[in-house]
Amino acid sequence: MSDSNNVSRRSFLQRLGALGVAGVGAGTVLSACGGDDAAPAEDTADADFSCDDLSGLSDQEIQTREQQVQALQYVEETPNPDELCSNCAFWQEPEAGEQCGGCDLFPGPVHPDGWCNSWVAAS
């Protein structure tokens, strides 16, 4: 196994901590993105929209998000066509009428076509 597949104790604990923050703020996470006139999540193929509205997050949640996004190398457009946030085990479905979902690993809106280095196929 290469070193790039190893997870440090610090990285693991950071991810674990983010799970708790994401669980507590799930309502805020999902309400932070999109508008009533947004297209349904299933129509996001080649979507040209952004999920960067953090106005529904507290300063602490924004700080946690920034740390986790960097640690997980999250991007809104996947470099791996078969690995999308929307087909990941950590994906949280968007609320009805919204485009952006959420993630169990960090607070805030998540693009369905995004990706991070913790992607795991949904079962």
pLDDT in tens, 79-102: 999 999 999 999 999 999 999 999
Q: Nearest 5°: phi and psi at 107?
A: -80, 155
Which residue's structure tokens are 């913790």?
118
Q: Is the dihedral of CA 69, 75, 81, 85 positive or negative?
A: positive
- Res 23 pLDDT > 80: no
Strand positions, DSSP E, the chain: 91-92, 102-103
Q: Does residue 74 or residue 29 have the better pLDDT?
A: 74
Indicate yes or no: pTM above 0.75: no
- Res 38 pLDDT > 50: no
Q: Which residues pair with 101 in a beta bridge?
A: 110
pLDDT in the model for residue 48: 83
